[in-house]
Structure 1
Amino acid sequence: MSAVESTTATSRLPETISSRLRLPAIAAPMLRVSGVELVKAACQAGVIGAFPTANPRSHEALDDWLTELDETLSENDAPYCANLIMSRPETQKDIEILLRHRTEMVITSVGSPAPVVPALHEAGVFVLADVATMKHVKKAIEAGVDGLVLLTAGAGGNTGWMNPFAFVRAVRAFYDGPIALAGGMSDGVALRAARELGVDLGYIGTKFIATQESLAEPEYKQMLVDSTMDDVLLTQAFTGMNTSFLLPSIEAAGLDPATLDHNADVASAQAQYGGSAYSDKSGPRRWKDIWSAGHSVSGVSDVPATREIIDQTLREFHGDR
């Protein structure tokens, strides 16, 4: 069976997307982690491969990444998906490059999608928007997005704080469009449960950090293997937003996790880690040295190939553990 719809409920996704998925999932876009090799491996294994447009680090590199994806992936592979971080000043130029490559899917995050939806829709791009509150759900719908990514408690990196069961059901009370769910999804059992809840796509991030194809440093991958969800700290100290980071990486940077949000360490950390994820400031930096992970880190036990994770998740999704 090659398509998700052969064994699951009818999808709210466009058939041009759903028919190419082996598994109803997105390999989440992760700063400094999601590179072209991870995206290719995910798409070829039947999962949407996503990456932040910030990751290539230049517009020329973004163009090169997209060219490689366009030339490598076939029409039967799952689509790749670009993540536009709306707070970045480079976003408009990124969009021009994406449209030139006829990119099929975009996820907007950290800001309103309203400024970019018209141009993306004119080019036929399917637009999802990250949302963490009911207020932002309604604003994204008003902006005309095609679907929502619900950020819930337990997601890695910039995260939400709502219970996923309550959040999905509250949104489904008035919204019948596509929903992707982000937050602590570590296996096919969780993905199947999410589908029963009313979700179309699962957002899986942390397990894909610990893959052979990811851009993460070997030490980062090993820390994921060695950690449990007890090692994940929710803090605003490094980004000004609720963000999940690994305690061991914070401690390795010489900071006290217990006091980050309560004393002068906050001002110091925000000054040191503020600005671009690729800041040239001296000392340890968020994303580069302070590493993120979600609650699903408890499901990371090794560093396999991306396809191995997807194949195993598919078996679990269909009830074969």
Structure 2
Amino acid sequence: MNVKELAGQLEIPLILAPMFLVSTPAMTLAACSEGLLGSFPAHGTRTPEVFEEWLIETTEGLERLRGESDGKMIAPFAVNLVVHPSNPRMEGDLEKCIKYRVPVVLTSKGAPPDAVARIHDYGGVVLHDVANRRHAEKALEAGVDGVVAVTAGAGGHTGTINPFALMNEIRRIHDGPIALAGGMTTGRDVLAAQVMGADFAYVGTRFIATAESSAPFGQKQMIVDSIATDIFFSASVDGAPANWLTKSLSAAGIDLDVLRTTRPGKVIAAAETHKRWKDIWTAGHGVGNIDDIPTTAELCRRLKAEYRAAALHPISNDVIDQMAQPSG
């Protein structure tokens, strides 16, 4: 399968981002059942054996859905694979992706050409997370099919560059597939990402607050109760730039003023922090547009309806021409 074929298997160009300790096979299958690309991270499972169980559950679930579809579009799924040498599970998890012929592999933290080639050998598609132009150049040199542009405002580990700026920089070096990530919560946002030049929208935070999400209820409710200014950006918690729910940091006893001047990684290195890590939660800038906790399927249907409604009412050429005329 190539990326063009992938796009043809989706009702709208939306990828449900893989989220650590949030994504589940149930969420993935619910998204796929609505024609959207569901996903989960390999490292989100406790052991390689559990990862294989998830792969079996997902592949068998998709076979069942396709058998019952009666012509309804059922999307493929994706797995996020951390391909950095520091990941001790990388080789084994890659072997499982190959064994189960995972249609789309979302690679991150390194782009080894041999891993990309092995995924391509069975017909898989590789999209790689990037946060700047140099990351994109290295990934493309490794042979990936496309990139995920992680921009400022994305939940969890995030980029720091404005989405317009990063999209334009990557488009200068790459005319192939780009998925845009960062702060999107509606179907209109998906259409806007396409107008900006993206092929797919990569949506995560909006799906944390869903019934199938494995996030604790407190995190889901905190997202519902938060707005964009309740998101705290810091690289000091685990050593990488990330967006955190401010209220969860405060509830864990972390002094935000101290955190602002703490060197990267020092907080998570503290032994006492490990015990409360499960209560320190991430989210992106789109939280201010989230006010309920629907099922994944309900949310997917809402996003599709919003996307189609927005597509029916584009700015007309007449309006563009009128706006381009000099005033007076």
TM-score, normalisation: structure 1: 0.89
Q: Does 1:297 align with 2:296?
A: no
Q: Structure 1: how far apart are the matches of 2:195 and 2:10?
A: 18
Q: Structure 1: how far apart are the matches of 2:266 and 2:142?
A: 37
Aligned residues: 300
- The answer for the alignment partner of 2:108 in structure 1 is 109
- 1:10-89 alignment to 2 at 5 Å? 13-15=3-5, 17-74=6-63, 75=66, 76-87=73-84, 88-89=87-88
- The answer for the alignment partner of 1:220 in structure 2 is 219
TM-score, normalisation: structure 2: 0.87
Question: Residue 112 of structure 1: CA displacement?
Answer: 2.9
- Greater Cα shift, 141-150 or 51-60: 51-60
- Closer, same or farther: CA 281–261 of 1 in aligned 2, 3 Å: closer
Q: Does 1:158 align with 2:157?
A: yes
Q: Structure 1: how far apart are the matches of 2:111 and 2:11?
A: 31
- The answer for the alignment partner of 2:322 in structure 1 is none
Q: Structure 2: how far apart are the matches of 1:81 and 1:54?
A: 13
- 1:245-256 alignment to 2 at 5 Å? 245-256=244-255
Deviations 1:148-200 (A, max 9, x none): 00010100011001111111122112311100000011111111111111111
Question: Residue 281 of structure 1: CA displacement?
Answer: 7.4
The secondary structure found in structure 1 opposite 2:283 is coil
- The answer for the alignment partner of 1:8 in structure 2 is none
Question: Residue 268 of structure 1: CA displacement?
Answer: 4.5
Letter in 1 for 2:127: L
The structure with the greater share of residues assigned to helix is 2
> 1:113, 1:145 within 8 Å by CA — same for their partners in 2?
no
- Closer, same or farther: CA 134–38 of 1 in aligned 2, 3 Å: same
Larger Cα-atom Rg: 2
Letter in 2 for 1:208: F
Q: Structure 1: how far apart are the matches of 2:265 and 2:61?
A: 45
Letter in 2 for 1:121: H
Q: Does 1:193 align with 2:185?
A: no
- The answer for the alignment partner of 2:269 in structure 1 is 271
Q: Does 1:307 align with 2:324?
A: no
Query: What are structure 1's unaligned runs of at least 5 residues?
Result: 1-11, 274-279
What is the alpha-carbon root mean square deviation over aligned residues? 1.9
Q: Does 1:98 align with 2:83?
A: no
- The answer for the alignment partner of 1:6 in structure 2 is none
- Greater Cα shift, 202-211 or 109-118: 109-118
Question: Residue 257 of structure 1: CA displacement?
Answer: 1.6
Question: Residue 113 of structure 1: CA displacement?
Answer: 3.9
Q: Structure 1: how far apart are the matches of 2:232 and 2:42?
A: 26
Question: Residue 248 of structure 1: CA displacement?
Answer: 0.4
- Closer, same or farther: CA 113–191 of 1 in aligned 2, 3 Å: farther
- Closer, same or farther: CA 180–268 of 1 in aligned 2, 3 Å: closer
- The answer for the alignment partner of 1:132 in structure 2 is 131
> 1:113, 1:129 within 8 Å by CA — same for their partners in 2?
no
